[in-house]
A and B are shown apart, each in its own frame.
Chain A
């Protein structure tokens, strides 16, 4: 039996170019370049390494607008076999709950799955919710923050980095694994693979095809309400030269300037 691996990926704005719209306080996505979420590239690489050893079938799944196609093609060009983009205007404005639901429903619709990979979190919202959420929706086990993921005889073995040590876990299939950022080196895309990926193309699934009601997904299915956004104002930082003769003078000076404060205050 061929192992069926699903990799969840997300297209995110390039974090080096992120601009916050001063009026709406949202990310201005129109100005930024879109890239594949870095941790998802590590997730895909973990999947492809298992594919290299076992001949597994790798399907990438994403939810996003049609322009996420470039990310999907990139995943195919790195070695995935199939790419499905859940794309529908009803999916817009989703928080992590309906996003997890949409991805889980898409995976169910695909049918068989043995291992689901996701990045530990996305660089644009950093919640780390969606991977574990999908595991819950599908009611399967999960390994979070994993590295060195191996497949062995019906089980996944992975390292989990903990404070003060590493936990090595072995979990039977089916299992969802969220992969640590930078835990491996994603393989390059080559021209040959990119051409083949472009020819192969991706599948776009809407809510109907996946079998979701419009009111379950997107902004309507989202329990989060953003009441207000506060921008972080950059503090004025001024470097000043303070002439002191000893430590006491330095402490006094800093205390006077309100840089050092006493505990009880």
Chain B
């Protein structure tokens, strides 16, 4: 007889969602988290897209510590001197409230509290060392020489899945699987943020940037999200690119980003409250491990469920939904008292049936595009030339717009076959 029905390792959105779902159906569940309080080691921060939490916490937006709902979503290319962006502000975003900016230190703590209220035992400040495996079946976890038993373990460790790796359930991470995210939280008065970003009270701005101008030519993405009275700003750089450019440092890169002529004014006068860095899952579809086996399931970032197509960065939504799917799979297995690989196979089916795996499949290989020099160098430069052509008034007769586009393309070496191939590949994968 196991001490717990299920043990969930990691109290991020995936683990907390799984624990809330399990505890709500009266399962005896232990949620173990290494940070104390939960969220204090987290860096993401972040837009929580989608409404997955409503499945486990009705009206969650009313009580969750969300910062602002996103009513302006932007994407922008930055070159040394310019910003070329698309802003989407919409009443529709306000009505649907499809994304909220969040600070994970607050959100994760709140989720853990909800898990506790639902009846889960929540233990913080303990790092699980490895899984306890007997005759090829996971039967619990090990910590400091003790074994805590359960029928199933759900691993929701986040971007650095040490237990899964140590227990041989996942390959060690390679440079291809991870990026490094570096984030600053800049404190600014709520009104200043509203004025600077033209936001109504409670509304927020979220933008992802392609940084086409960094020293050493490193390909990196930037992000900027408005919180209630602070701004989360940072960069994401792929590990392999960082490895290739030994002389570049992430702290220089975030400085280059925040000092950009069209970023610096947004942050001006703010006081830096936090500075943090963390791994970001980037591997995409090819890095997804086997998601279940005898007595275990893997959910959230640990499972490689994160997504970036250059226009939007997502992970928390997949975490929540995969956590819930794992909990539901456990509940079905519990009814039959069978926790073998075969019994937990329906976890895969649940994910395949949901947008989680569908997204992972449709955007397979997107990483090759989002991190390519084509996106980071050529497109920003081409857009800049095009815009200059369109808007520079030099008292000369204007060219036809198509001509201008062709000129901008050829100036930036984009009419070659290889570039056209890049463009084709990009369109296909996005």
Contact = CB atoms under 8 A, between A and B. Distances in A.
A and B pair up:
yes
B125 A189 contact: yes
Interface string A187-201: 011111011001100
Interface residues of A, number: 10
B2 to A, nearest CB: 13
Nearest to A194: B123
A94 B47 CA distance: 42
Nearest to B143: A191
Given A191-B144, A191-B146, A195-B30, A33 B37 contact: yes
Contact of A189 (B30, B40, B126, B141): B126
Contact of A190 (B3, B30, B144): B144
Contact of B144 (A33, A188, A195, A198): A188
B121 interface: yes
Question: For this complex, into which size category does the number of interface residues on chain B fall?
Answer: 10 to 19
B37 A190 contact: no
Contacts of A198: 121, 123
Interface string B264-306: 0000000000000000000000000000000000000000000
Contact of B123 (A33, A188, A195): A195
A190 B123 CA distance: 10
Interface in A144-196: 188-192, 194-195
Interface string A50-94: 000000000000000000000000000000000000000000000
A176 B40 CA distance: 37
B57 interface: no
Nearest to B128: A191
A189 B36 CA distance: 13
A190 B125 contact: no
Interface in B139-173: 141, 143-144, 146, 148
B52 to A, nearest CB: 28
Given A198-B121, A198-B123, A191 B37 contact: no
A33 B105 CA distance: 11
Interface in B1-57: 3, 30, 32, 37, 40
B130 to A, nearest CB: 12
Nearest to A35: B36
B148 A195 contact: yes
Given A195-B148, A198-B121, A190 B143 contact: yes
Given A198-B121, A198-B123, A191 B40 contact: no
Contacts of B146: 190-192
Interface in B185-229: none
Nearest to A74: B125
Contacts of B32: 191
Most chain B beta-carbon contacts within 10 A, residue among A188, A191, A192, A198 = A191
Contacts of B144: 188, 190-192
B125 A192 contact: no
Interface in B112-147: 121, 123, 125-126, 128, 141, 143-144, 146
Contacts of A190: 126, 143-144, 146
A198 B125 CA distance: 14
A187 to B, nearest CB: 11
A192 B123 CA distance: 10
Contacts of A195: 3, 30, 121, 123, 148
A189 to B, nearest CB: 7
Given A198-B121, A198-B123, A192 B37 contact: no
A192 B126 CA distance: 10
Nearest to B122: A198
A199 to B, nearest CB: 8
Contact of A192 (B40, B121, B148): B148
Contacts of B121: 195, 198-199
Interface in A19-38: 33
A190 B143 CA distance: 7
Most chain B beta-carbon contacts within 10 A, residue among A33, A190, A195, A199 = A195
Interface of A: 33, 188-192, 194-195, 198-199
5 contacts: A33-B37, A191-B32, A191-B148, A192-B143, A192-B146
Given A192-B148, A195-B148, 9 more contacts: A33-B37, A188-B144, A189-B125, A189-B126, A190-B146, A191-B144, A195-B3, A195-B123, A199-B121
Identify the 6 closest CB pairs spanning chains A and B, nearest first.
A192-B146, A191-B143, A190-B144, A191-B126, A194-B123, A198-B121
